[in-house]
Amino acid sequence: MTVTIEPAVAASTSQDALNALLCDVLPAQGAWSEDAYLWLTDHSNRLIEFTDGYVQELPMPTFTHQAVLAFLYDLFRAYLKPRGVVMFSALRMRIRAGKFREPDLLLLRDRADPRCQDRYWLGADLVVEVVSSDNPGRDLVEKRADYAEAGIAEYWIADPRDETITVLTLQGDTYVEHGRYARGGTATSRLLAGFAAEVSAVFDAPEAGA
């Protein structure tokens, strides 16, 4: 008797076998190394962060998230040219040994800064996060502690939920609030002299199709 295996069935069986193999080969949560994390993110288009042996997949951004981010990117880029550099997610940044984050925006005032590496950055002068609605505490609490630990001089948090921008500056090993700005106000930087962002324009970006 001849048994015919339909291509779709064969492909499904092959994928199931591959999935089982990967589950056996990949480290368990808590046992990931930096090298394994870097390999994973080199071979994936997913947003993944890493802390002390654990990997965490981040949600895909929304249109509002990306429009706000794009507007801020353009502002910072215009300010920093030609000497500085601003990049956007997903570029990995090493907080310390055993911890990586992928900030929405990260910048250095000097492109020649040795922290500006090709595969991942070793730090930044300023980072920006646009708050994700799935887990606001990740940006408001967890990453606030992470970026302070990394010695990032300034942290901007753009929150579409209440349309505010909070600017935090590092004092010692903790952040203090430089300012919290709402619609009609202008967010300023302590680190970047003369830099400003009109809050209304930032949060009007999605409606404007920016």
What is the per-residue pLDDT for 45? Answer: 83
Same domain, 49 and 133: no
Q: What is the dihedral of CA 46, 151, 193, 158, to 10 degrees?
A: 40
Q: Which domain range does residue 141 map to?
A: 63-208
Please write the tens of the pLDDT for every residue from 137-147. Answer: 999 999 999 99
Q: What are phi and psi of 28, to 5 degrees?
A: -75, 160
- Domain C-terminal end among 16, 36, 57: 57
Mean pLDDT score, 36-43: 89
For tokens 């042996």, name the residue.
Answer: 53
The residues facing 48 across adjacent strands are 57
* 2 within some domain: no
Least confident of 15-19, 69-73, 113-117, 199-203: 15-19
Of 197, 195, 175, nearest to 187 by C-alpha is: 197
Contact 131, 68 (CB under 8 A): no
pLDDT computed for residue 1 by the predictor: 40
Average pLDDT, the chain: 89
* For residues 158-186, average pLDDT: 97
Q: Are residues 190 and 101 in the same domain?
A: yes
3-state class of 7 per DSSP?
A: helix
